[in-house]
Amino acid sequence: MTDYILEQLRALVAIDSPSGFTEKVTAYVLQELTRLGFAPQRTAKGGVLCCLGGSGNGLLLTGHIDTLGGMVAAVKPNGRLRISPVGGLSANNCEAENCRVYGRFGGVVEGCLQLCSPSVHVNKNYSEEKRDFTTMEVVLDAVVHTKEETEALGVSVGDYVCFDPRLTVTETGYIKSRFLDDKLSVAILLGLAKSISEKETVPAREVWLHVTVFEEVGHGGCASVPAGVQEILAVDMGCVGDDLGCTETQVSICAKDSRGPYNYDMTTKLIALAKEAKLDYAVDVYPYYGSDADAALEAGHDLRHALIGAGVYASHGYERSHKEGVKNTYQLVKAFVETL
């Protein structure tokens, strides 16, 4: 199943999809779930909702397909672009990264995000310059020197700016790319859907999949909870960092994030299942994090909630996970849906 999951990851990261610009990537997910024999539907917000089978005691699995990105905030007099971040995009994490600007009415112009004075042979303060979206600009790969010339290309305020993912899988099993948060989890959930479609996994309850499209801006999981659902399991990236136990090769089980503790009984069950299956896992408290499961509860849904995910290093930057983390996460999700 790992090969299928990585195949899906490659397809997903190849489709640009910052929050609010997700129609193409959700069309792909709809197509793949339909190919697997399911009947997915697009929600009014633009996400994908699909029943994977089973009956009673409904469980909603969520993963988000939206990513970080940028939006043109101004076309500058020199023809370059000032951008505003979509989600938690950090300027210093995408300096010198190639990007694409999507014209609202057609056309794509390539470019690169650079410091406004990026040459060390010209700018003696290069190393000390603050990196933020006031000191950095998108330099277009087009011969433009004025605002009017850039606008003539079809580029205008409100256009999306999408950054290269640069996916690579090393011989040692590491998976490196932008936007593993959370396209890696969506690929894992597609793997689960494939397993159910092939009767390898038999749900012990009614299982729904919700691929959300506004998680990075905070409201992905607020809506589209089907009737009868009693629990929500967010499958999102597991944090790797100082004072945390998780590594990229593990599945992380989150006991608490910045919005509060997850359901004690669900979390305990996940830990017990990981122990029983002899999975490599860690239990952690995330200091700066919120999930679609949090958003669902904040929206007023009466649910038990939990959060797991493959360990991801350097989150919201050029991220890294591992095939073993994928395997452990997939096996834990599979065990959870097979157990009452």
Question: Which residues are designated catalytic?
Answer: 215
| Strand residue runs (E) in the chain | 41-42, 48-53, 58-64, 69-75, 81-86, 98-102, 108-115, 136-140, 160-163, 168-169, 174-177, 207-212, 229-235, 238-239, 251-257, 260-261, 281-285, 304-312, 319-322
CA 185 to chain centre: 7
For the chain, how big is the Rg over CA atoms in Å? 21
Beta partners for residue 310, in sequence order: 251
Q: Are 108 and 100 in contact (CB under 8 A)?
A: yes
Nearest to 186 by CA among 12, 50, 58: 12
Nearest to 139 by CA among 69, 77, 79: 79
Nearest to 182 by CA among 222, 232, 237: 237
Q: Are 332 and 251 in contact (CB under 8 A)?
A: yes
Q: Which residues of 247-261 are buried (b: 16+ CB within 10 A; e: fewer)?
A: bbbbbbbbbbbeeee
